[in-house]
């Protein structure tokens, strides 16, 4: 069963909108774990419009499952994660000012840039994952630069799921088998939800972790946070 890591960026966005510590991100993280979440994720961006850099250290103090920090590897970002040492760092090719993640790394063209960054993280004892599209060449490149895991950007799967779920999942299933053969760990995230998650998981038997935030927080408006986490865990198990 893949692990469920709850991305709390949208909770942080609500907190920031009123200029006070409400909702309390740290309490929400603790509650998510209490309700069954197997990891906590945040993605602090340079403008800190939702998760902030100081949230990383605060979460490190309380998270008892796994703490995953996503982000573009600016020197500021690297300084924060190398100081805090979360369980996992997921490198995402979001340029400053980008609204949300919408593609994976080109691990071939940017190999010389990524290889020393991954080396620094691994030397600090941090498991490293990089955002990729389901392209075998990008997976070969990921192996060559030394990452421990890859995280599939699943936006294209989610967008095509309602019209052609078999066609939508096929490249991810094939790429997952290729990644497993290479010895890479496999994560996935972006636009996965209660409707499309179970089918995706059923086709990727080597999947180790999913990171879900936006859809989970939206569902929690209707079902409540505890209920929603249980619903997602049920999709992962079945």
DSSP structural state of residue 195: T
Q: How far apart are CA 146 and CA 141, in angstroms?
A: 9
pLDDT at 238 over 90: no
List the catalytic residue out of 33, 66, 190, 209: 190
What is the residue range of 208's domain?
3-237
Residue 103 annotated in active site: no
Residue 214 annotated in active site: no
The overall pTM is greater than 0.85? yes
Domain count, the chain: 1
Residue 113 annotated in active site: no
List the catalytic residue out of 33, 66, 70, 151: 70
- How does the average pLDDT of the chain come out, rounded? 96
pLDDT tens-digit readout, 92-146: 997 766 555 567 999 999 999 999 999 999 999 999 999 999 999 999 999 999 9
List the catalytic residue out of 43, 50, 151, 209: 43
pLDDT tens-digit readout, 176-232: 999 999 999 999 999 999 999 999 999 999 999 999 999 999 999 999 999 999 999
- What is the bridge-based pairing of β-strands 3-7 and 88-91? unpaired
> What's residue 119's pLDDT?
98
> What's residue 97's pLDDT?
62
DSSP structural state of residue 96: T
Summarize the confidence of residues 67-74 as an average pLDDT.
96
* Closest to 11 measured CA to CA, from 57, 55, 66, 54: 55
CATH number at residue 38: 3.20.20.70
């Amino acid at each position: 069963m893949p692990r469920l890591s709850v991305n709390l960026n949208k909770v942080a966005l609500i907190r920031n909108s009123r200029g006070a510590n409400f909702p309390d991100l740290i309490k929400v993280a603790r509650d998510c774990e209490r309700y069954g979440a197997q990891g906590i994720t945040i993605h602090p961006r340079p403008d800190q419009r939702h998760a902030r850099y100081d949230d990383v250290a605060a979460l490190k103090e309380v998270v008892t499952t796994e703490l995953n920090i996503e982000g573009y590897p600016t020197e500021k970002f690297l300084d924060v994660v190398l100081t805090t040492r979360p369980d996992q760092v997921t490198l995402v090719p979001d340029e400053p000012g980008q609204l949300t993640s919408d593609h994976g790394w080109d691990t071939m063209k940017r190999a010389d840039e990524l290889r020393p960054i991954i080396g620094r993280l691994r030397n600090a004892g941090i498991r490293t994952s990089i955002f990729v599209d389901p392209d075998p060449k990008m997976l070969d490149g990921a192996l060559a630069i030394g990452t421990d895991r890859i995280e599939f950007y699943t936006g294209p799967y989610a967008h095509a799921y309602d019209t052609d779920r078999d066609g939508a999942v096929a490249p991810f299933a094939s790429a997952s088998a290729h990644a497993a053969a290479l010895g890479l760990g496999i994560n996935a995230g972006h636009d996965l939800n209660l409707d499309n998650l179970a089918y995706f998981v059923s086709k990727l038997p080597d999947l180790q972790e999913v990171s879900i935030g936006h859809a989970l927080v939206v569902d929690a408006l209707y079902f409540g946070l505890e209920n929603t986490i249980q619903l997602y865990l049920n999709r992962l198990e079945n």
